[in-house]
Every structure is written in C-alpha cells, then in structure tokens.
Amino acid sequence: MTYSNGIPLQRGSAGPARPPRPDDLSVGLVMQGVLLVALSAGAGLGAAGWAAGATFGLATWALLMAGLQRTGRSGLGPADRVTLARTVLVGGVAALAVESLTRPVPATGVVALTVTALLLDGVDGQVARRTGTSSGFGARFDMEVDAFLILVLGLLLVRPLGGWVLALGGMRYAFVVAGWALPWLRAALPQRFSRKVVAAVQGVVLVVAVAGVLPAGVTLAAVLVALASLCWSFGRDVVWLARRRAVPTVGAACAAEAPGYVRSEPATPREPVTT
C-alpha cells in the first residue's frame, strides 16, 4: 500500500479494473440541470450562475468517473447515491453563490438547499452502515462535498462581510496544498470529538448568517467565533503532526480526516481511493 495526500492507495488488485457505468452519474448531471432550470424560474438565476452550476455538474461527473475507474468500481453504492443527491443541492448553492457576486439572490432558496443538504449529510453514513457498503471512496466523496459546501456558503457572505470569510472554506484546501510540500502533514490524525463539533459549527453558523435572521453585529460575531474555532482545530492538529513528524509514518493508516472536517463513514476503505 502506498499513500498520496494522506489517502491510502491500494496496489496489486487482482484482475483488470471494471469499467464504470455512468448511469447514476448521468442521472445526477440531469438532476443538476433540472435544479438550475428551477432556480432560473424561482430565483432568476442568470448567466453567471448557470455557468457555475453547469461547470460544477460536469466537473463532478468527470471526477467521479475518474474515481470509479481508479478504484475499479462499476458504479455508485446506495450511500454514494445519497451523497450524489447532496452534491446536486450543493451545485445549486454554488450557482446562487456565484450569482450573488453580481446581484442579491433570495436567501430562502439558499437556505432551503443548504438545510436539505445538511440533513442528508447524516443519511449517507447511516445507509452505508446498514447496507454494509462503507468504503474509502464514499468517505472521501462525502468529505469533499461537505468541504465545498462550506466554501460556497462563505462566498455568499463576501458581499455583506468581506472576503476574509472565505478563510472558513479555504482553510481545508490550504491544508491539502501544504501537504504536497510538507509530507508530514499527511500523516494520520487521532479521532477527536471536538473536531466533529467544530465541523458542525461551521455549517450551522454559515447557514444562519446567510439567512440573515440575526442582527448584523451578532452575525459578524458568530462567524468570527466559527473562524476562531476552526483556526484552533487546524492549529492544534498541525502542532500535533509537527511534534510527531520525526516518527516514521509509512504503513500507517493515513485515512483520517483533515482537521476541522469529519466523515460520515468509517475510515476503513475496502478499495483504493482517488485523490
């Protein structure tokens, strides 16, 4: 077994990789188009939002096809289909977020899509466990959708709060990029309940901020507290990794989640995972 970006990649699998079936992914792409049409009618989605949503849908299709091919899977499992449905919703949020850079967008649509996606976040893990289809592929898929949702929610707050709010969603990606230059950042992290709490706080605070139901001062304070908690979570884990970087980690189970983010499926992949 070898490692890339902290994700285990299994080699020497028996037999040739099965060609993936694009059926589920094609359905997801169609669903993304239908959602964009609905947002055009209900929220006045313009060209910028359409471009963002379409690009997101096509990129998701291409990346999942590549991931299925790399892992030798022929298609998505039951839990992966739930995550794919969440991905379509996140694509709608992304379209509205890009549209918000040029004009105000209705908060009700954003909140409805985001709350539904957050509620489904706990469903895919339950489905995976009950059907016995937990996998590293599904865990990574779930985690990437969560991370991107935080990023686009921050984008929706750029106009009222400023560009600094993008640090909430960008910190995880900065950590991944830093791991390319500093391999010790890709080592396994211990499971911590506090990391789950911090991850939950990000989504709740951002969706409340987007809804605009609190006074401006309270909203600003809440987002700052969320950012501070995320910095604390990342900082603690970076310090933990730095203190142990002299310890050999080759052969370690490096499937632990990135700081500040959690997976809804066990980190015990049965097949290799695409990065």
pLDDT digits (tens, 9 = 90+) for 26-43: 899 999 999 999 999 988
pLDDT given at position 166:
94
Contact 206, 226 (CB under 8 A): yes
Which residue reads 């396994």 in tokens? 188
The Cβ of residue 184 has, within 10 Å, a number of other Cβ atoms equal to: 14
* Mean pLDDT of the chain, nearest integer: 82
Distance in angstroms (rounded) separating the CA atoms of residues 183 and 139: 22
Give the whole-number percent of the chain exceeding pLDDT 90: 55
Q: Which of 117, 126, 44, 113 is nearest to 86 (CA)?
A: 117
Give the pLDDT mean for 247-257.
43
* Full DSSP string of 142-188: HHHHHHHHHHHHHHHTHHHH-GGGGHHHHHHHHHHHHHHH-GGGGS-
pLDDT given at position 22:
67
- Residue 234 in 3-state DSSP? helix
Distance in angstroms (rounded) separating the CA atoms of residues 234 and 191: 13
pLDDT given at position 18:
53
The residue among 190 and 15 whose pLDDT is bigger is: 190
Q: pLDDT grade, residue 11 (50/70/90)?
A: very low
pTM: 0.80
Which residue reads 């884990």 in tokens? 237
Give the pLDDT mean for 245-254.
49
* Number of residues assigned to the chain: 275
CA 124 to chain CA centroid, Å, is 13
pLDDT given at position 35:
96
Structure confidence by residue, pLDDT tens digits, 154-183: 999 998 999 999 999 999 999 999 999 999
Q: pLDDT grade, residue 247 (50/70/90)?
A: low
CA-CA distances (angstroms) from residue 129 to 77, 126, 145? Answer: 12, 5, 19
Q: Is the pLDDT of residue 265 over 60?
A: no
- Residue 232 has φ and ψ, to the nearest 5°, of -65, -45
Distance in angstroms (rounded) separating the CA atoms of residues 14 and 248: 29
Dihedral sign, Cα of residue 52, residue 53, residue 54, residue 57: positive
- In order of start, what are the domains of the chain with their CATH numbers? 2-10+22-243 (1.20.120)
Q: Which of 160, 159, 85 is nearest to 121 (CA)?
A: 85
Structure confidence by residue, pLDDT tens digits, 191-235: 888 888 898 899 999 999 999 999 999 999 999 999 999 999 999
Q: pLDDT grade, residue 190 (50/70/90)?
A: confident
- Residue 2 has φ and ψ, to the nearest 5°, of -125, 175
